[in-house]
Structure 1
Amino acid sequence: MQEKNNNELKIFVPKEFNFEENLKYLSRAPNECLFLIKDRRLYKALPIEEETLLIEISADQENVMNIRFIDDTAPSSEWKRAAVVRYVREWFDLDRDLLPFYEMAKTDVLLNGAVDSFYGLRLMGIPDLFEAICWGIIGQQINLTFAYTLKRRLVESFGRLVEYNGDDYWIFPTPNDIAALSVEDLVGLRMTVKKCEYLIDVARLMVEGKLTKMQLLNAENVKSAEKMLVKIRGIGPWTANYVLMRCLRFPSAFPIDDVGLHNAIKHLIGTENKPTKEEIVRLAANWTGWESYATFYLWRFLY
């Protein structure tokens, strides 16, 4: 449900939502380039077809999130206003009922402390499929800090910049922006040749209509969607499940081989050894249908 005036939209959010917890998560990477956080407000440039909107997101009232359009960038039509609301709801996963997850987590040895510490945190998404896949590929086998550096280089080299009041608002490159490039064009990013090839290949698949978000969402189940993704060169099970979590919102997506998940488990159970896959399967026995949220909450202990 939402209320509106010309320059603002109000979204009513679930009780199990804490804007501050989500801002803390979004604030964890100082090198983030796709949004700004200032004075407990979140700012982002959002392209909707030919228009580029600057939005400010805040939550000064309980159970209400406010979207304000900056500098007369209010959408020209009702359907574009609705598209902004859909984007923000998807970004914050606001349509997910977290009560069953919290009920399960209360009795889980790994999750009970996580839900107490991060209550109201949502699995912050990446609604754009191309951005989500690129982020998954960029992050393969490197630390998070370097991944953000590579993403910034990609965005600042091939994305679009909107400047307002001395601040830079970057928009992620589109598949069309990347599909026409060669590996040599990406050399300056200091990314591996293989990753450059993978990004270009994915962009071309999307430009040709051979890979779409709707195709994946229409998959029979999460395993079918994973199989569709891992057929693509450069996408293995970890990247596929990351995309299934962050973009496609399959709650049972489970990047079981994720190093961050392993380190969080080591931290919580107080062991020096990496858990085996069998141990993780045993520890995750109660997470059925909530593997993505369980993973995300455990990640929060580390970053």
Structure 2
Amino acid sequence: MEAINLNSTTSRDLSKDPRNELELATPQEFDYAENLNYLSRSPNECLFRIENGRIYKAIPAGGETAVVEISSTPENRLLIRFLGEPAAVSAGMRTEVIRYVRDWFDLDTDLAPFYEMAQSDPLLHRAVNTFYGLRTIGIPDLFEAICWGILGQQINLTFAYTLKRRLVETYGRPVECEGETYWIFPTPQTIAALSVEELTALRMTVKKCEYLIGAAQLIVRGELSKEQLLAAGNSKNAEKILVKIRGIGPWTANYVAMRCLRFPAAFPIDDVGLHNAIKYLTGADRKPTKEEILKLSAAWTNWESYATFYLWRFLY
């Protein structure tokens, strides 16, 4: 089975292979097990499940939905197997799934320069040696990324996952396949039509409900889109757009820029987790100041996003 590279593979090429499997080539700096460990961090995850080293997930594919099993081959490629009825797997669906998986695992980013820089960095050298092959796992859908950022504000990760599950299982779309139920994240159209009272029934704060509904309404009205933010050109410009939205501050804006927009210089410098990771690695008796972080991160230019993600990994 030949590896498929989206950059050189057309939908017509995909349609020549009637089988329900495809392989994706991965960069040398990719370790499936390391990324699987990250994805396994919460038993309360509701948008995919992991079983026997394989990832099972429903993926929106244009007007269709694909349910896939993702695993690794001995050659360090990603093996994607489509579940369900073989005849339902169109060339367009395969193309969309390839795009999604490449984005999800950030396969198109060359990490070699990051690793070269990090090896001589006092903070990062331990991180890249400990988590070698880890990619910044993405959230390709803008609305999902914004929601996850808002849900995670000022609460611990465990409760954030609980809130996400309540939101998804109440307002998301279930997909049945081979005896299992998978979930698609709620659309902005669905959330935009809700009242604050309906969302507070999920036991999230009134303000978070207002923020989620407000962001959804902006997207529905066409006033906010991933394309608009990408066109901003960099994380600073995208942040300026995002922080104008009620409920989105610099932290959430940079989180979205990291996980969804893939701007390499996105840097949530005020993040408590980042501060705690630096404290842990330096053995300090207090968290670093912003000025100290700026000094420590001076060599991270255009790798702030990956540096942050790797340092977070020491904590969660």
Fold match by TM threshold 0.5: yes
Which one of the candidate residues 15, 21, 24 is aligned to 1:11? 24
- Asked whether the 8 Å contact 1:52–1:73 carries over to 2, the reply is no
From 197, 206, 223, the counterpart of 2:236: 223
Distance (whole Å) between structure 1 residues aligned to residue 274 and residue 125 of structure 2: 16
Q: Is the Cα contact below 8 Å between 1:57 and 1:66 reproduced in 2?
A: yes
Q: How many residues of Structure 1 are paired with residues of Structure 2 in the alignment?
A: 303
Alignment partners' CA distance in 1, 2:279 and 2:86: 47
Quote the residue 1:236 is aligned against.
249
What is the CA–CA distance in structure 2 between the aligned matches of 1:62 and 1:276, rounded to whole Å? 44
Describe the SS at the equivalent of 2:233: coil
Question: In 2 relative to 1, CA 36–223 (structure 1 residues): closer, same or farther, beyond 3 Å?
Answer: same
Distance 1:73 1:154, change over 3 A: farther
Instruction: Write out aligned runs for 1:247-262 (5 A).
Output: 247-262=260-275
Q: 5+ unaligned residues in a row in structure 1: which ranges?
A: none
Q: Contact 1:21–1:118 (CA<8 Å) still a contact in 2? A: yes
Q: Amino acid of the residue matched to residue 189 of structure 1?
A: L
Letter in 2 for 1:292: S
Q: CA 1:265/1:147 → structure 2, altered by over 3 Å: closer, same or farther?
A: same
CA deviation after TM superposition for structure 1 residue 74, in Å: 6.3
Shift of the 73–25 alpha-carbon distance from structure 1 to 2, 3 Å rule, reads farther
Task: Name the amino acid aligned to 1:119.
Answer: Y
1:212 to 197, 210, 225: 225
Deviation at 1:53, TM superposition (A): 1.1
- Give 2:315's aligned amino acid: L
Q: 1:74 to 1:174 in 2, by over 3 A?
A: farther
CA drift at 1:165: 4.1
Aligned equivalent of 1:181, options 177, 183, 194: 194
- Tell me if the contact between 1:12 and 1:65 (Cα under 8 Å) persists in the aligned partners: yes
Pair 1:300-2:313 in alignment? yes
Q: Which amino acid aligns with 2:224?
A: L
Whole-Å Cα distance in 1 between the matches of residues 35 and 313 of structure 2?
Answer: 11
**What displacement does 1:185 show?**
0.8
Residue 93 in structure 1 maps to residue 95 in structure 2: no
* 1:72-87 matched pairs, under 5 angstroms: 72=85, 76-87=89-100
- State the Cα distance separating 1:61 from its structure 2 match: 2.2
Name the counterpart of 1:133.
146
Q: Which residues in structure 2 correspond to 1:19-30 (within 5 Å)?
A: 19-30=32-43
Pair 1:58-2:60 in alignment: no
Q: Is the 8 A contact 1:75 1:81 kept in 2?
A: no
Name the CA distance, whole Å, in 1 between partners of 2:61 and 2:68: 12
Q: Is the 8 A contact 2:149 2:256 kept in 1?
A: yes
Give the Cα–Cα distance (whole angstroms) in 2 for the partners of residues 71 and 166 of structure 1.
10
- Residues 254 and 236 of structure 1: is their aligned pair in 2 closer, same or farther, counting only changes over 3 Å? same
**Structure 2 residue aligned with 1:144:** 157
**Structure 2 contact 82–89 (Cα < 8 Å) conserved:** no
Instruction: Tell me how far 1:180 sits from its aligned partner.
Output: 0.4
8 Å CA contact 1:125–1:247 kept in 2: the answer is yes
Identity %: 68
The 3-state SS of whatever aligns with 2:50 is strand
Equivalent residues of 2:55, 2:70 under 8 A apart:
yes
Distance, in Å, in 1 between the alignment partners of 2:234 and 2:143 is 21
Name the aligned partner's letter for residue 25 of structure 1. Answer: Y
For the 8 Å contact 1:252–1:290, the answer to whether it is kept is yes
